[in-house]
Chain A
């Protein structure tokens, strides 16, 4: 047996307990989503009959389609807005010395500690006072505000690794500062922007407590709230539909994530050192 094969077996043996525990709930989800309404109450590992019709039935009855659209809208808009606002701030922090620079950084750090849940009552009062309960755009603004600190921090540490010489060379050639920014600097920063964008998107996609508080009518629910509402406060729960809904809500992001995770590791390793 080659050395690498032996090592691989040993490592997989080590990892197998944690892999089993991690996969367990998702296996339960996939299996339960394919059982019939009566069989789902039986904890068997393999359904007698694969009920694929659970998915179209769930799609029709659970209102998950509008929730999917809402989630895509909120997450997409939050990501775009966060990146748009964070880039200039990160650029200022990495390229300028100015009075208040440290104060701004500390302000961002504190904003990270005040999580949405700690502020939820105050936010609810503000939003309710403005008559904007149920507005998805309010959600976009709140998610953006809570993601800015992390994005600025990540982008700034990446920006600092881009050598100044490149920009200075462009200035020497007579390019303006703005032009240099768009043609030289930002193209180099694309990897960091992609990583922070993924982060923001996943955060917004998965956010629970603010959406639970601010969204009161079914038409405005995002996915986590929609699926939660299928379970919470009900006397009977159609678990096979719930699991099918959870499956539909999870799989697209999981695939996207599996594909992008290598960039995530690389991006974080750059960001975290500074």
Chain B
């Protein structure tokens, strides 16, 4: 074997596998989105951008798109805000830290589907334990039908989204905090910097690359997150909690409109790419400064 060919030989299996599972379906989706397709997936006439045009004329799709952007922003920003103080605390030495870490990490180990199904039961109007807990605490006096309308269901879904994203985010931050050298703080303390100054001038700047990583990865995960909404409301009632992924799934596998669903897929992909490019630009500009 030629020495120069060794690395290609080494990356070949992973490349072929990923390419087959990603590029091939992508090609299928592109062709579906440009053709008239019947319920059974048979390609009919080439119709160009007709599917895209009908999507943009569909108020349900437009609403789902805006809701997806709101959902992603709310969950990602909420997660980051909650995770920074938790990571700071878990990085300190205190009694029961091991248990605290395990408790905070718990939702990560449990399937999102299971968590969402349990929440669906806990949010039940008559038999749900959230209502009874809130009644016992005197916060509400009549049962709330949490999942019966979007105005209560969607905030709860965002809350669940934040809770299940915290463990991964805290883990990344803990990794970042463990790389901060102790003597920096000692030096700062001798210079007379208080706790807040230490946080603002040392911790936060050193944590910044990790916040960036957590931001990008969470955005991709949350934008594509399916089980929370599907297992609690399936996007209902009347599509009022649909985000793009649930809209896509319904359009494809409930209504059998494969061409339109393929177009939704590609629009989602385009949004993710635009977002990533914007992000990389920003990150690079910051590095130059």
**Residues of chain A lying within 8 A (CB to CB) of residue B59:** none
Q: Is B20 an interface residue (CB 8 A)?
A: yes
* Known A-B contacts A8-B96, A32-B121, A85-B14; A257 and B113 likewise in contact (beta carbons under 8 Å): no
Pick the contact of B102: A40, A124, A208, A261 (CB < 8 A).
A261
Cβ contacts under 8 Å, A121 to chain B: 25, 28-29, 32, 248, 252, 258, 261-262, 265
A42 interfacial contact with B, CB 8 Å: yes
> Are A42 and B272 neighbours in the complex by a CB distance under 8 Å?
no
A117–B29 Cα gap in the complex (Å)?
12
**Which of B7, B8, B166 counts the most A-chain CB atoms under 10 A from its CB?**
B7
CB-CB contacts of A201-213 with B at 8 A, as 1s and 0s?
0100110110001
Q: Write out the residue numbers on chain B whose beta carbons fall within 8 Å of the beta carbon of A93.
A: 11
Which of B45-53, B144-152, B170-178 lines the interface with chain A? B170-178
Q: How far is the CA of A213 from the CA of B253 in the complex (A)?
A: 8
Contact A228 B117 (CB under 8 A): yes
Count of B interface residues, CB-CB < 8 Å: 97
**B117 smallest CB distance to A (angstroms):** 6
A182 CB–B CB distance under 8 Å = no
Q: How far is the CA of A128 from the CA of B179 in the complex (A)?
A: 48
Complex interface: chain B residues within 8 A of A21 (CB): 159, 163
Q: Which of B19, B118, B227 has the most CB of A within 10 A?
A: B118
Residues of B contacting A115 in the complex (Cβ-Cβ under 8 angstroms): 220-221, 224
Chain A interface SS verdict (over half): helix
Q: Contacts A92-B11, A208-B227: A28 and B93 contacting too (C-beta < 8 A)?
A: no
Binds B, one of A52-60, A104-112, A161-169, A183-191: A104-112
| Closest A residue by C-beta to B32 | A121
Contacting chain A: which of B69-77, B104-112, B182-190, B196-204?
B104-112
Q: Per a CB cutoff under 8 Å, which of A23, A31, A91, A206 touches B111?
A: A206
Report B-chain residues with C-beta under 8 Å of the C-beta of A269: 174-176, 178-179
Does the CB pair A119–B224 fall under 8 Å?
A: no
The answer to whether residues A98 and B114 also contact, given A4-B95, A257-B108 and a CB cut-off of 8 A, is: no
A270 to B100, CA, bound (A): 22
Q: B residues 214-249 with Cβ under 8 Å of A?
A: 220-221, 224, 226-227, 230-231, 234, 245, 248-249
> Which residues of chain B have C-beta atoms less than 8 A from A242's C-beta?
117, 121
- Residues of A contacting B226 in the complex (Cβ-Cβ under 8 angstroms): 117, 208-209
Which chain A residues border B220 with CB–CB below 8 Å?
112-113, 115
CB of A26 closer than 8 Å to a CB of B: yes
In this assembly, does B193 line the interface, its C-beta being within 8 Å of a C-beta of chain A? no
B157 interface residue per 8 A CB criterion: no
Flag whether A235 is at the interface (Cβ < 8 A): no
What is the bound-complex CA distance between A243 and B7, given in angstroms? 50
Residues of chain B contacted by A262 (CB below 8 angstroms): 101
Q: Please list the residues of chain B having a beta carbon within 8 angstroms of any beta carbon in chain A.
A: 4, 6-8, 10-11, 13-15, 17-22, 24-29, 32, 41, 82, 85-86, 89, 92-96, 100-115, 117-122, 126-133, 159, 163, 166, 171-172, 174-176, 178-179, 209-210, 213, 220-221, 224, 226-227, 230-231, 234, 245, 248-249, 252-253, 258, 261-262, 265, 268-269, 272-273, 276
User: Which 8 pairs show the lowest CB-CB distances between chains A and B?
Assistant: A122-B25, A269-B175, A257-B109, A145-B21, A43-B132, A92-B10, A122-B28, A115-B224
